[in-house]
A and B are shown apart, each in its own frame.
Chain A
Amino acid sequence: MTVEALGEKTKTATIIVNTRAQHWSEKKITFEQVVELAFPGQPYDSAGTTVEYSRGHGADHALRPGKNVEVKDGMVFDVEPANRS
Chain B
Amino acid sequence: MSNLPTGPDSSIARLVADGYDLVLRSGHLIIRRLPYLAPSGLRRDGQLVLPVTILEGVLTDATDHRIWFDGEEPRDENGGPLATLDPHDFGVGERAEFMMSFKPPSGAYAGLHDKIRQYAHILRNPAWQIDPTVADITDGSYQVVPDDLPLVYPDTNTTRAGLITLNNLFRGHTIAIVGVGGTGSYILDQAAKTWVDRIILIDGDRLETHNAYRAPGAVAIEVLAAQPNKAEYFAAEYGRMHTGITAHPVALAEGNLHLLEGATFVFLAAADAEARPAIMRWLRDRGVPFIDVGMSFREGEHGLTGIAKVSAYLPGEDSPLPTAPAIPPGEDDYSSNIQLAELNALNAILAVIRWKRYLGFHATHAASNLTIYKLFSNEIRNGDLE
Chain A contacts to B: CB under 8 angstroms: 16, 18-20, 38-39, 42-45, 47-48, 50, 52, 54-55, 60-62, 64, 76, 78-85
Contacts and interface: CB of A to CB of B under 8 A. Distances in A.
A13 B307 CA distance: 24
B326 interface: yes
B179 A85 contact: yes
B300 interface: yes
Interface of B: 179, 181-184, 269-271, 293-298, 300-303, 305-309, 322-324, 326-327, 329, 332-335, 339, 344, 347, 370, 372, 374, 376-377, 379, 381, 383, 386
A45 B327 contact: yes
Nearest to B384: A62
Given A18-B305, A84-B329, A85-B294, A48 B386 contact: no
B305 A19 contact: yes
A38 B334 contact: yes
Contact of B332 (A45, A54, A60, A61): A45
A81 B305 contact: no
A76 to B, nearest CB: 6
B293 A78 contact: no
B294 A82 contact: yes
A17 B335 CA distance: 16
Among A64, A76, A84, the one with the most B-chain Cβ atoms within 10 Å of its Cβ is: A84
A48 B324 contact: yes
A76 B377 CA distance: 8
Nearest to B309: A82
Contacts of B179: 85
7 contacts: A20-B301, A43-B333, A76-B377, A78-B374, A83-B294, A85-B181, A85-B347
Contacts, number: 113
Contacts of A18: 298, 300, 305, 376
A42 B327 CA distance: 14
A39 B300 CA distance: 12
Contacts of B327: 45, 48, 81, 83
A84 B333 contact: no
B269 A85 contact: yes
A74 to B, nearest CB: 12
Contacts of B381: 52, 54, 60-61
Given A44-B333, A62-B370, A81-B296, 5 more contacts: A18-B298, A60-B381, A61-B383, A62-B386, A84-B271
A85 B270 contact: yes
A54 B334 contact: no
B323 A47 contact: yes
Closest 8 CB pairs of A and B: A19-B300, A85-B183, A42-B333, A80-B296, A39-B334, A85-B269, A82-B294, A82-B309
A53 to B, nearest CB: 10
A85 B184 contact: yes
B334 A42 contact: yes
